[in-house]
Structure 1
Amino acid sequence: MKKHFLLFTVAPFALVAPAMAETAPAAPATNEAKAEKPEAQQTPAKKGTEEVFSTGVAKGRDRLDSATSTSALRGSDVDKLSARSIADILRDVPGIRAEAAAGEGMGNITIRGLPIASTGAKFLQLQEDGLPIFEFGDIAYASADTFMRADLSLNAVEAIRGGSASTFASNSPGGIVNFISKTGDTDGGAVQLSAGLDYGMHRADFDYGAHITPTLRFNVGGYYRQGAGPRDTGFDSTRGGQIKLNVTKEFDGGYIRIYGKYLDDRVAAFDLTPVGVTGTNGNADFHNIGGYDARHDTLNSKYFQSLLTLDGNNNVTRDDMTAGQHPIVKSIGLESKFDVAGWDITERFRYADMSNHYMGIYYTQYLPATALSAAFGAPGGTVRYANGPNAGQTVTGLSTLNGNGIAALMLVSDTDMKSLANATNDLRASRVWKLGNADLTTTFGVYGSHQTIDSDWNWATVLSDVAGNGESHLLDVVTATNVKVTQDGTLRYGGPTVGTFRRSFRLGYTTIAPFGSVNYHIGKLAIGGSLRYDFGTANGSIYGSELGAGRVGVGPKDMNGDGVISVPEMQVAITPLARPAPVDYHYGYLSYSVGVNYRIAESMAVFARYSRGARANADRILFGPFVSATTGALADKKAAYDAVKQAEAGVKFRNDNLTLNVTGFWAKADDTNLDATNGQPLVRAYKAIGAEFEGGYRIGVFSLNAGATYTHAEITNDKANAALIGNTPHRQADLIFQVSPQVNTKSFSVGAVFIGTTGSYATDANLLKVPGYVTTNAFVQFRPIDRVTLAVNANNLFDKLAIVGIDDASVPATGVAKGHVLTGRTISGSVRFDF
């Protein structure tokens, strides 16, 4: 199968070569040729003119002529959002719910009431220049946003919600967000120097594009930065950068572009954090605990710099705790468009060699520090500092330790994702046929990808106090007879339960999907439909004692090499390398979408659409009952993919100053998964209905953009727990909204971005209610002279304690909850030089 896939990806180059060979030497571009931008580079036009949108559709069209719900941000808009991550950018897109609590990566992202099934973005696809970052948006510890960065080379962000996203990309039934790079259309560039004014960050960005000849151009851009980052970790947790380059050759009837990217960046993983809570489930009061600020502190520490563990081959190693999230991307791609006998042929190909070493806190359990000895088998014993300046000393004043008296049992997710290599190809051909006064547009294509997942889970469980400013200490528990239950703060070399969370994956997923569409446009009416069929295969092996069948997952091992087997070293989690479990299955599913658009007037259109798509399941259904550990086949063929059905209808209005879009939607989705908090299998169905609004108004120097999404979602079936049927999915708010006013003049710009949500339930049990919030980002730009811009950007200006999620089903007895909280106020200043 892999051989056939490689032949498939090479074939388009054979098509491109003769097309180029038959083209005469390029003459200076005509005005007509210059007017036609490549589809992937089309950006929103000024209000009142044609706005062409090309992501997730057969062919770029004016939005008023397309039966889709779409949004777009220019690169200059993104600069003003004061966003600190990709997920932070997506918070400003109507219909999208982005939980940006984990920093620059591991964002949980969904759309229009579809569930955040585990982590990542299961039903929404993130793309870069028209191709997906990953085939599956919810690979464990490798969400797509981890491998993307926004910098000055970003030209635009396009988002399509529902609609034809089901049929013009695989595994994207909820929608697509496409991050489009600059390609040197306009000669010139910029250099920008930035620094955190109230947090540790120093950054340099650059971008430059130019024409080498009238038909040959290039663009290069990137950044480098270093600093402690937006939260207190006790060390420089942010360090690295990226560089992107593309070269475009235009010719009569098309273009060919070659591009590449190198990303090597380290950022802290600080998603899970302690949050104080009092009151009742229905009226809980969330707040900071003593000595620790959930908005600015983390469970990282300057004293906890490395983790003693076993690597994937069961060899003792020390992994760098300061690495946080360390994605590395080396990618190269080709994009081209050309005419063959009246057909527009578009070819996109990319190979990306990707890896990531994720060091974060996956799970915590908070308890009074006074209870440590009794809780971990040492009644009457003592607690000692395991690291830091007081290492080895007995901890006194446990009840008031660090001002909160709290200790934490922490599961460190040391996940070495050695390869996430992805090869992707999309080849399509479109032609417009004249049928009297009507246009019939036909599109045919074939898509293929191969996604590798090669990773090791080298986890450990440690005990720690909870202190701010990156000054937490690991703790040792010692019995009354001076026997250490822990070793240098490590309670267990593995998961909290013996033999758990010690896993390895050696997997490859191949997808091939032919697709086609027809659109009939006559006068004000356009009717269209599209089909896609996904063929998928999964092959490889997985390792772990949780797969059973005599797979021994623990054993004694002298981890620190002192010649003594301590208590934690008696049952070290070991990967059963001699007993792999196979993964070997295939699947197929049909997606379709039909829509109608009626342009009532030049400035107004109405549309309706019905779609069925699906999301294939990858590593999220392994280590559970869905795949046989003996044969590798599916235990239940329905587990291979989850279907999503959607309907939408709306009205669009646009004139020179005003844009208004209102859409009603309905969706049903299945979800086969493993619960991210407890690992239990999930087989569920969901339903969501709602409406979304997006609008913009501009008059003189003032402009206002706004969006809002109302959603009523519920669990309609749950095979494991029927009591949850009828409940609202966790973290699903009734209303999310965005409001962005700004004033722009020749010499300055000033504005704000207000993003809010109403309350939601912490878990699917619908007991503990988490309050809503509004965060405020703001910016000021001043241009004292031509080509120089001074700016100040603030994220979460009013330092709001914005809780996006709580993992506890009810108010915990300790008064400390497991929280996911947006970062508090961060202010940066920059100077930019354009040339």
Structure 2
Amino acid sequence: MTKKLVFLAFAPVVLVTAFTPALAAEHGSGSEDVVVTQAQPARAPASIAGAQQVFSTGVARGRDPLDSATSTSALRQSEIQVLGARNLGDILRNIPGIRTESSTGDGSSAYTIRGLPLASGGSKYMQIQEDGLPVLEFGDFFNGATDIFIRADFNLSAVEAIRGGSASTFASNSPGGLINLISRTGDVEGGAVQLTTGLDYDSDRVDFHYGAPITDTLRFHMGGFYRLGEGQRQVGFDAYEGGQFRFNVTKQFANGYVRLSGKYLDDRSPHYLPGPVRITGTNDQPVFGSFNGYDVRRASMLSGYLGDLINLDAGNNPVRLPISQGQDAQVRSIGVESQFDVRDWTITHRARYSEVAGGTTRNLVAAIHSGSALPASLGGGTGTFSYATGPRAGQVISNLGTMNGNGLVVASALNRIDSSDLGNLISDLRATRAFTLPGGELTLTGGLYNSTQNYESDWLYGNHLQDVAADGQSALINYTNAAGVPQSQDGYLGFNRSGSTAFFRRKYDVQYDITAPYGSINYRFGKVAIGASVRYDLGQVNGNLYGADLGGGRVGIRPFDFNGNGIISAAESRTAFTPLDRPAPVDYAYDYISYSTGINYRVSEPFALFARYSRGARAAADKVLFSNKVSMIDGSMPDPEDGYDIVEQLEGGFKYRTPVLTVNVTGFSADTEDTNVQAGAITTDREYTAYGVEAEAAWRRGAFSLTGGVTWTQAEIVSDKFNAAVAGMVPRRQPDFIFQATPQYETRLFTVGANIIGSTSSWVQDVNLMKMPGFTLVNAFVQFRPMDRVQFMLNANNLFDEVAFIEITTPSVPANGIGLGRAANGRTISLSARFDF
């Protein structure tokens, strides 16, 4: 990123700060509504349902939600604490309207909202932010999803969510909604230290935070965490290791403030992918279960016995990458936020520069075979099979059909998606002014958003055979054909994705530049408020692609002597490399307009009605590259409309709030375009429609409180340019109902309760042949406060150890009963001790 871009991002802060003293003396303090969330001590009660909260995410200015024509939710730190969430996905699934497929680990969960399509991982239509700016401009980079690079810890003050509405005009690439993680800022002196350990799984973690005023006009906050352990599933090594440190310093002036913030994240966690699932019965009445030696709730195809990933790196040099790398994130960022009142205008500016890198080392199961019925490509089971790694390395497997009590042989792709540069520079400058008019108030807002997002990623694949074993002891298998010729080396059939091609050996080196002016107008008179907003996104995409997938004579396969014995084995002859000398350019531009308009009627103090129509879009990112959407000759995009997908939404509902009861109900409908990937190349070019109702409520009486929500969705694939047969089908894994509820009983001495989440059944794939069962998971918690500022918490996730399938890849009941899928983690119990000071 150039010095010019850095200057443009941070210059507004410098200029406003420089003129602050004179402006402050002339105009005094402003009246802009802001969120001020104090640090919560351990004994703090849960939020009272009727307490008024100012909501500031995805809107022109912070307002009471009952005065805004939007559908919003917020979780405060004290509420998040009792959820016992193991990752960000566990937190977000407690927000109505949001569907979270969270069982992959700390990152790469899939998120969507209001029935918008979820064709691949990450978060395409819903943007995840930290303090009002996106962590990544695009939330669904292949194996580079936003939640890999963000952690919820004690720095977190609240999570705000806006569904639909003005999210499409107050942020780029967020037509479905916004999730904003808001940090503590040291308003009140205090901090906490918490130690957490897994009682029935291997995990140890320490969290801390502290903030305080330094002077009357200067305050700070800092905090972070560190953790280590195998984690919730049996993998045979420490799959979790690392931590985060964040800080901010705020300087208050008479008419505003300036805040400097920083973040350092260096953390790794496993990437749990689908594994063997026993599927029997019929498509109408399927029966799902586990195989001997592989409990879908606790096992993983990851294993310490797999050894290092052997491959050629991005520069085509031999490399060994530890499987323990998992999903690793390295983030270094610095940000500046300022807000000042200047001649009746409130000027707000946020800017952040982030160096983001990491990636995913994972084990992707391609096929699962019964050892007694291997395919012809593996000699139909003839020849010799032996262990290649682990304590039994070199031992011949006498009977594949009885191996480990399940007789399963897995063909997998051990791979590394190396995101060497996902850094970005983001700036958002806006000005707001409220004008008093006869009978009402007119609020005008204008702003300019700029971002530069890098995307440099290398795909390194190897393919191998392995067994299915318990306790993280799966090992690689060697195969020698009936003629006595080894067909594998150290368990690898090839140092490529599969067969004898270089499919998926790719390199991306692309930069996305976005400029988006936006504005809004809101007129409030009496009990009525009407408003409209508009945004114009202009994007420029430049860079290069490398890979045999580009065609044009690019081969990408050559022999390489990995073991250095001077002999090229069959496996070594199948080595994929990146043709770095033959790039394909990327050079295209796009632009689109988003708009939103709504009306709010505050019928009475506790009751409001609202309605809104919005049109937004999500710009195409890596999913259209390596496809015919972008020319391999000059990098242009022949059809400009391929540069973005449109989302149109209509919503309306009511909000009711008293000191003891809050109820919000919103009906919605959405029409969506989606160009996406389900298996590496463009496989869907669709239109979807969805409608439904989302409802949330909170009630408190004395020591008892209950919060919860339910979302009913009816979704349909309207059309698909590549597969007309799926028109009229329900999108895969879209249930009719998702729900959550948190009842709790709280006294000064203790709190006891549960967080209940679940969904009804859904189709496993778009062809609608077989359904995946619904589930209800109960996460129970007990907090005990024996003395002031001391708290112990016992948390049990999936208390009843239910089998809850999140994903089934197999479209119908297989003849051999061997399927592929992923389930939620089984029961895990943790104990925490917290001290507040």
TM class, shorter-chain normalised? Answer: over 0.9
Identify which of 643, 659, 670 aligns with 1:667.
Answer: 670
Q: Residue 13 of structure 2 aligns with which residue?
A: 13
Name the aligned partner's letter for residue 19 of structure 1.
F
1:40/1:180 contact within 8 Å kept: no
Q: Residue 558 of structure 1 aligns with which residue?
A: 561
Q: Residues 349 and 39 of structure 1: is their aligned pair in 2 closer, same or farther, counting only changes over 3 Å?
A: farther
Q: Would you say how many aligned residue pairs link Structure 1 and Structure 2?
A: 830
Residues 452-480 of structure 1, C-alpha deviation per residue, up to 9 Å, x if partnerless?
01111111111101112100010011112
Q: Residue 43 of structure 2 aligns with which residue?
A: none
Provide the rounded CA distance (Å) in 1 between the counterparts of 2:611 and 2:572. 63
Q: Residue 237 of structure 1 aligns with which residue?
A: 239
Q: Residues 595 and 369 of structure 1: is their aligned pair in 2 closer, same or farther, counting only changes over 3 Å?
A: same
Q: Residue 597 of structure 2 aligns with which residue?
A: 594
Q: Residue 756 of structure 1 aligns with which residue?
A: 758
Q: Residue 400 of structure 1 aligns with which residue?
A: 402
- 1:802 paired with 2:804, answer yes
Residues 484-520 of structure 1, C-alpha deviation per residue, up to 9 Å, x if partnerless?
1111111111111411110001110001100000000
Name the aligned partner's letter for residue 469 of structure 1.
D
Provide the rounded CA distance (Å) in 1 between the counterparts of 2:421 and 2:740. 37
Give the match's secondary structure for 2:152. Answer: coil
Q: Residue 333 of structure 2 aligns with which residue?
A: 331
- 1:625 paired with 2:628, answer yes
Provide the rounded CA distance (Å) in 1 between the counterparts of 2:51 and 2:84. 28
Q: Residue 431 of structure 2 aligns with which residue?
A: 429
Supply the RMSD in Å over aligned alpha carbons.
1.9
Give the match's secondary structure for 2:238. Answer: coil
Give the match's secondary structure for 1:172. Answer: coil
Provide the rounded CA distance (Å) in 1 between the counterparts of 2:797 and 2:656. 32
Report the CA distance between 1:280 and its aligned residue: 1.2
Residues 71-90 of structure 1, C-alpha deviation per residue, up to 9 Å, x if partnerless?
00001111111111111111
Provide the rounded CA distance (Å) in 2 between the counterparts of 1:634 and 1:825. 49
- Larger CA deviation: 114-123 vs 373-382: 373-382
Gaps of 5+ in 1: none
Provide the rounded CA distance (Å) in 2 between the counterparts of 1:422 and 1:713. 35
Q: Residue 638 of structure 2 aligns with which residue?
A: 635
Q: Residue 85 of structure 2 aligns with which residue?
A: 83
Q: Residue 42 of structure 2 aligns with which residue?
A: none
Identify which of 301, 313, 316 aligns with 1:314.
Answer: 316
Give the match's secondary structure for 2:786. Answer: coil
Name the aligned partner's letter for residue 20 of structure 1.
T
Name the aligned partner's letter for residue 667 of structure 1.
A
Provide the rounded CA distance (Å) in 2 between the counterparts of 1:615 and 1:692. 23
Q: Residue 138 of structure 1 aligns with which residue?
A: 140
- 1:520 paired with 2:527, answer no
Q: Residue 454 of structure 1 aligns with which residue?
A: 456
- Larger CA deviation: 88-97 vs 678-687: 678-687
Give the match's secondary structure for 1:401. Answer: helix
2:615/2:646 contact within 8 Å kept: yes
Q: Residues 49 and 358 of structure 1: is their aligned pair in 2 closer, same or farther, counting only changes over 3 Å?
A: closer
Provide the rounded CA distance (Å) in 1 between the counterparts of 2:38 and 2:205. 29
Report the CA distance between 1:50 and its aligned residue: 2.8
1:377/1:485 contact within 8 Å kept: no
1:38/1:337 contact within 8 Å kept: no
Residues 69-127 of structure 1, C-alpha deviation per residue, up to 9 Å, x if partnerless?
00000011111111111111111110000000101000100000001132110000000
Provide the rounded CA distance (Å) in 2 between the counterparts of 1:473 and 1:158. 44
1:45/1:51 contact within 8 Å kept: no
Q: Residues 261 and 4 of structure 1: is their aligned pair in 2 closer, same or farther, counting only changes over 3 Å?
A: closer
Residues 556-575 of structure 1, C-alpha deviation per residue, up to 9 Å, x if partnerless?
11122121100011121111
Report the CA distance between 1:187 and its aligned residue: 0.6
Residues 600-633 of structure 1, C-alpha deviation per residue, up to 9 Å, x if partnerless?
0000000000000000011111111111111101
Report the CA distance between 1:437 and its aligned residue: 2.5
Report the CA distance between 1:49 and its aligned residue: 4.1
Give the match's secondary structure for 1:64. Answer: helix
Report the CA distance between 1:42 and its aligned residue: 9.3
2:675/2:682 contact within 8 Å kept: no
2:32/2:61 contact within 8 Å kept: no
1:373/1:380 contact within 8 Å kept: no
Provide the rounded CA distance (Å) in 2 between the counterparts of 1:678 and 1:245. 39
Q: Residues 685 and 622 of structure 1: is their aligned pair in 2 closer, same or farther, counting only changes over 3 Å?
A: same
Residues 337-378 of structure 1, C-alpha deviation per residue, up to 9 Å, x if partnerless?
001111000000011101113111234210012234744247
Report the CA distance between 1:656 and its aligned residue: 0.6
TM-score, length-scaled by structure 1:
0.97
2:108/2:122 contact within 8 Å kept: yes
Provide the rounded CA distance (Å) in 2 between the counterparts of 1:120 and 1:229. 22
Name the aligned partner's letter for residue 773 of structure 1.
F
2:70/2:163 contact within 8 Å kept: yes
Report the CA distance between 1:8 and its aligned residue: 2.8
Q: Residue 467 of structure 1 aligns with which residue?
A: 469
Provide the rounded CA distance (Å) in 2 between the counterparts of 1:46 and 1:432. 31
2:263/2:333 contact within 8 Å kept: yes
1:42/1:54 contact within 8 Å kept: no
Identify which of 785, 788, 791 aligns with 1:789.
Answer: 791
Please list, as runs of the form range in 1=range in 2, the aligned pairs for 1:291-440 lying within 5 A after superposition. 291-372=293-374, 374-377=376-379, 380-440=382-442
- 1:220 paired with 2:222, answer yes
Provide the rounded CA distance (Å) in 1 between the counterparts of 2:19 and 2:732. 53
1:40/1:130 contact within 8 Å kept: no
Give the match's secondary structure for 2:214. Answer: strand
Q: Residues 38 and 602 of structure 1: is their aligned pair in 2 closer, same or farther, counting only changes over 3 Å?
A: closer
Provide the rounded CA distance (Å) in 2 between the counterparts of 1:274 and 1:211. 55
- 1:646 paired with 2:649, answer yes
Q: Residues 566 and 38 of structure 1: is their aligned pair in 2 closer, same or farther, counting only changes over 3 Å?
A: same
Provide the rounded CA distance (Å) in 1 between the counterparts of 2:5 and 2:299. 47
Q: Residues 508 and 580 of structure 1: is their aligned pair in 2 closer, same or farther, counting only changes over 3 Å?
A: same
Name the aligned partner's letter for residue 492 of structure 1.
G
2:174/2:618 contact within 8 Å kept: yes
Name the aligned partner's letter for residue 352 of structure 2.
R
Q: Residue 533 of structure 1 aligns with which residue?
A: 536
1:624/1:674 contact within 8 Å kept: no
Provide the rounded CA distance (Å) in 2 between the counterparts of 1:834 and 1:323. 34
Report the CA distance between 1:24 and its aligned residue: 6.4
Identify which of 519, 534, 542 aligns with 2:545.
Answer: 542
Give the match's secondary structure for 1:13. Answer: helix
Report the CA distance between 1:590 and its aligned residue: 0.1
Please list, as runs of the form range in 1=range in 2, the aligned pairs for 1:466-505 lying within 5 A after superposition. 466-497=468-499, 498-505=501-508
Provide the rounded CA distance (Å) in 1 between the counterparts of 2:15 and 2:365. 51
Residues 261-299 of structure 1, C-alpha deviation per residue, up to 9 Å, x if partnerless?
101111111122221111112211111111111111111
2:304/2:323 contact within 8 Å kept: no
Give the match's secondary structure for 1:241. Answer: strand
Give the match's secondary structure for 2:305. Answer: coil
Q: Residues 279 and 373 of structure 1: is their aligned pair in 2 closer, same or farther, counting only changes over 3 Å?
A: closer
Report the CA distance between 1:776 and its aligned residue: 0.8
Q: Residue 58 of structure 2 aligns with which residue?
A: 56
Provide the rounded CA distance (Å) in 1 between the counterparts of 2:365 and 2:600. 48
Report the CA distance between 1:217 and its aligned residue: 0.5
2:232/2:298 contact within 8 Å kept: yes
Provide the rounded CA distance (Å) in 1 between the counterparts of 2:343 and 2:732. 53
Identity %: 50
Provide the rounded CA distance (Å) in 2 between the counterparts of 1:40 and 1:518. 25
Q: Residue 273 of structure 2 aligns with which residue?
A: 271
